[in-house]
Structure 1
Amino acid sequence: MTATMERQVAGTATPGDLMSAGARARLVLVLGSLIAIGPLTIDMYLPALPSLTAEFATTAAAVQLTLTGTLAGLAAGQLVIGPLSDVVGRRIPLLAGTAVHVLASILCVFAPNIAVLGGLRVLQGLGAAAAAVVAMAVVRDLFTGLPAARILSRLMLVMGAAPVLAPTLGSALLSRTDWRGVFAALAVFGVLLIVMTALALPETLPRERRRPATPGSVLRAYAGLLRDRVYVGLALVTGLMMAAIFGYVAGSSFVMQGEFGLSEQEFGVAFGGGAAGMIIATQLNVRLLRRWTPSQILVSALLGGLAAAVALVVFAVADVGGLAGVLVPLWLVLAAAGLAFPNAPALALSRHGEAAGTAAALLGAGQFGIGALAAPAVGVLGSNATAMAAVIAGSLAAATLVLFTLARPWRLAEPSGTDAVVAVH
């Protein structure tokens, strides 16, 4: 008897268990496109950071704050949109948020200085937050446990393609236009997402499962999440992993173009190589889940990523290995992230199906809120290979410490309520 049939007999089948393979594939495509708007918004203009610095006659740290603003908007927006989606359903917040993203992208095209651009990037992040949190909540509406981890792995394939394509697309646009054309392209992509969502994504939260629309209920939901030590630990782990990634994102263009002399197009290829490693790792995760639990994979990924980050620090400080001494450890860190990211959210969300939107919001806010601290840290430390390596290694060391002291991986395999994380094989 298959796992799906066993859950149906037991009366615990989720809506996703009843979906055909084709329907699941279409769902992954739609949700993956929604999730991609965040990485595209963050990454497409990365090749233009040096030229932005020159055009606005500002510093690298000031330009990196526009990246921080986007991450801060993504974090804050999810804290609002997540509970709202538990109250009114998933579609309305998603469509409204994406419309805000489109408006902000259009206004970015006309930004007269770095301060205005930074403010608009915050608004852009607020709009993109709707897609990020609703996509995660939809997964939890439909799946739990190992099926959720597998769906998230498939989503990471689509999400991993976004960083591969983003700098390459940005470089291609920059060969024909300037950085303003990048934001015009993001506006067009947002419009396409609105149309796709309106036509292809049904409401996944029935009215009977929606929560009361009161400030008190929202605060109680967040308080309940914060009292769950394991959930908090997993949220912090995910956020610190994101900090490592955005330490790389914030510093990579300055390191590869400034220190190693890569062109905008060559930078796009090098950046895409790391994202390709993340894609491969996320798809390997689907196969690994057939033999090991999400918690076991998460522990191995963090330890492996930390080892690669330490090697990166050594190569950067000693100034040995050249570009390869930087790229190879970085790509290993990204591969470790590809294994960690599907499993940590799946473990965290499986504990709170009664408030999936709020749980996804707090998880996402932790990711982008903690990640937002990494970008200025790289700038303050010097925007060089050593600074980038230090932020990445520090973030991964903190994530590993939190995992073993707060989340405690030897207890992550325990079911929570009716949501067995690893009991279904």
Structure 2
Amino acid sequence: MHPREFVAFIASVMAVNALGVDLMLPALADIGRDLLVTEANHRQWVVTVYVLGFGAGQLVYGPLADRFGRKPVLVATLAGFIAASAFAARSGTFEALLGARLLQGLMSASSRVLAVAIVRDGASGRQMARTMSVAQMIFFIVPILAPTIGQLLLEIGPWRFIFYALGTFAAFVLAWTAMRLPETLAIGARMPISIANLRRSYKLTLTNRFSIGYSCAASLTFGAIIAFVSSAQQIFVDEFGAGRRFSLLFAICAFSMGIASFANSRLVERLGTRLISHSALLALILLSIVHVLVILAGWETLSSYVVFQALSMTCIGLCGSNFGAMAMEPVGHIAGTASSIQGFITSIGAVLVASAIGQAYAGTTLPLAIGYLLIGLAALAIVFVVEGGQLFRARMLPR
């Protein structure tokens, strides 16, 4: 592929998962009403169950991708995602829908593992961070547009149309993969699936302090994103009465992450992953402290919430791709398996964090603001330990 097509392709693969999370946000109230969900906070499980499957599935795809190559695994899982979308569209109960969402998450897990592994097959370090940042910049357009697209689909049909749309987009990416993606893992670099190989790969990934440390830090920041996404409809519509403005306000917050990724793609090779991400963590902590004080003082409004949320998303956007690149750097020679382990840690940790914050929602934004403060402090503590007490400094990671 031409480099521009390659970046667009990686962004599209990642967008399968982003659409899986964001496209149905405007429909959560309709889903709850149609499937007799009486507790409003339970509607959040439509998002969190998906992310749970997304995390669990990543343990499988890394070893498969290292053994059979990237392309066949991606083709098979995209086909599975299409089938799961059809099951979700035909669900008659909330439990059946959650089962279909879990299956969707399991299938879409390959998008994260394989996007990272395919990029890592041809790049590393700051170059990898730059490529991923450009892809994520395009990828973040999806959350900006997804609620609006979902709202438009609701204008012409029931919430089930949204899941048919998900299957259609996955079919497009499947066709693109089949026709244009070359296999990026050489036959000589493929690893047989064996207990001994898996043990070595797991040991290396889980015992390297950069790999495990930055994966844990990434799980916290990803949890912040999922907490916002899963509770966004309740906060904007139920608490602030935003109504049809929900899609626009959500897009503003998501757009800030896109801007952050664009800035990171331009600056990372000059400033380095550490300076950018560590500074962003400190900024997130300071923002969260101010936000908590504003809420406690009774000054929180829809406008103030959007400003604080957008700025927080900017900080988080400056952490994500850099944390991922730093976690992958010392284990690039086992990129498939390492990506699956790191992705599992990141996603499952994010579900736990997001569930704790989301289920604490009780009509105010205070749980989210306090959650962001705790996330920033915990991530900074992890980074401090990983870096041996020396933040910001560029270094060559041990292989």
Q: Say yes or no: TM over 0.5.
A: yes
1:335 counterpart residue number: 314
1:361 counterpart residue number: 340
TM-score normalised by L of structure 1? 0.89
1:136-155 → structure 2 map (5 Å cutoff): 136-155=116-135
Uncovered stretches (5+) of structure 1, i.e. residues with no partner? 1-21, 419-425
1:99 counterpart residue number: 79
* Secondary structure, aligned partner of 2:91: coil
1:228 pairs with 203, 208, 217, which one? 208
1:314 pairs with 286, 293, 303, which one? 293
CA contact (8 A) 1:277 1:335 kept: yes
1:19 counterpart residue number: none
Deviates more, 1:306-315 or 1:219-228: 306-315
CA contact (8 A) 2:57 2:105 kept: yes
2:369 counterpart residue number: 389
> Does residue 179 of structure 2 align to residue 199 of structure 1?
yes
Q: Distance in 2 between matches of 1:55 and 1:44?
A: 18
Q: Distance in 2 between matches of 1:279 and 1:75?
A: 23
Offset of residue 290 of structure 1: 4.4
1:18-417 → structure 2 map (5 Å cutoff): 23-58=2-37, 59-263=39-243, 265-384=244-363, 385-408=365-388, 410=391, 413-416=394-397
CA contact (8 A) 2:50 2:101 kept: yes
Spell out, residue by residue over 1:181-223, the C-alpha distance to the aligned partner (whole angstroms, 9 max, x if none): 1111001111111101011111000011111221331132111
Offset of residue 378 of structure 1: 3.3
Offset of residue 114 of structure 1: 1.1
Give the CA RMSD over aligned residues.
Answer: 1.7
Spell out, residue by residue over 1:93-128, the C-alpha distance to the aligned partner (whole angstroms, 9 max, x if none): 111111111111000011111111111111000111
Number of matched residues?
396
- Identical pairs, percent: 31
CA contact (8 A) 2:210 2:326 kept: no
CA contact (8 A) 1:308 1:330 kept: no
Change (3 A) 1:163 1:228: same
Offset of residue 49 of structure 1: 1.5
Q: Distance in 2 between matches of 1:157 and 1:52?
A: 30
Spell out, residue by residue over 1:285-325, the C-alpha distance to the aligned partner (whole angstroms, 9 max, x if none): 12322431111111001111222222232333333141112
CA contact (8 A) 1:146 1:289 kept: yes
CA contact (8 A) 2:75 2:174 kept: yes
Change (3 A) 1:60 1:396: farther
